[in-house]
Amino acid sequence: MTPYQKRTLSPIAQRMAGDMLVRNLSQRTIDAYTYHVERFARHFDKPLDQLGPEEVRSYQIHLIEVRKASWSAFNQAVCGLRFLYHVTLPRPWVVQQIPFGKRPKRLPAVLGSEEVSQLLACVPLLKHRTVLVTLYAAGLRLSEASHLRLADIDGPRMQIHITNGKGRKERLVPISPRLLHELREYWKADRPSNYLFPGKTEEVPLSSATIQKACKLAAATAGIHKPVTPHTLRHSYATGLLEAGVDLLTISRLLGHSSFITTMVYLHVRRPHLDSTPSPLDWLPVRQCPRWLDPNQAASPNPPGDSEPPTNSKPTDPPESGPAPASA
């Protein structure tokens, strides 16, 4: 159960949840959107049907300046408000004018193979280690890995069936022989019967918070100082495939990206490709730089430090002394 579910929804939020359910949105999305719209109503202490575009604008400023919301949380709130006033409570004003925040474009953090080995070696519990191995070996999202069931692992075909991908999209991901071996050894030790990585009981999956905590603790133990999350392992998987020569279209399909453009970010973190790129400076011809003249001696015919007169100069003959000879 997520923190969003531990509350009673208002009648309008309940109707909004039903509108999202019939549109096949995931429970996680339903919980998040209703959570944000109810916080919006509590901020003004008014029902949702009495709020309009001015309140939306004021609330967005509040999220940025007061609550210091992350851009992901800010845009999630915008999605919830757009759905509310476009579907559940249709309004005459243009809902699409509720602006999204412009997310800063940052390159994803990735780990090299040695760093991944160090990270995995520092996970004390077998279940936690195996779920992190699965995240890295198959490039799964955190929610995809935590919700895997035994039936999703197809050993004979060497495939993982992802049934709860982003946007409820299904896909097949190949299992490497080493990952299959790791999963079998884990199953022999823990004997899960429903979820591959169960939580407190067999009927609930291992929580995302538990996996995130295990990953953070392992990174600190391994002495990895860059920010490391379970999603970092997914980034590292994609970058590793790209460096191994796998084409972007294949990587995009393996990751379950809905847009090929999303996958192109990994072109910017492909180190061998970048490190082998020359600089235009290397192409310039090497020439001897001229010696600089002292501005105070710019009018001098000799370069600074050279006391010898020019070789082609001739001394002026002194005038002859005495009167000039008389003409005949």
The two counts, helices (H) then strands (E), for the chain are 13, 3
Starting at the edge strand that comes first in sequence, how are the strands of the sheet with 159-162 ordered? 153-154, 159-162, 171-174
Q: Which residue(s) pair with 198 in the sheet?
A: 205
A 10 A CB-CB count for 145 gives 28
In whole angstroms, what is the distance from residue 9 CA to residue 24 CA? 19
Q: Which residue(s) pair with 162 in the sheet?
A: 171
Selection from 181, 147, 183 nearest residue 162 by Cα: 147
In whole angstroms, what is the distance from residue 225 CA to residue 205 CA? 29
Asked if residues 228 and 137 have their Cβ atoms less than 8 Å apart, the reply is no
- Catalytic site positions: 141, 166, 231, 234, 257, 266
In whole angstroms, what is the distance from residue 89 CA to residue 284 CA? 65
In whole angstroms, what is the distance from residue 248 CA to residue 127 CA? 32
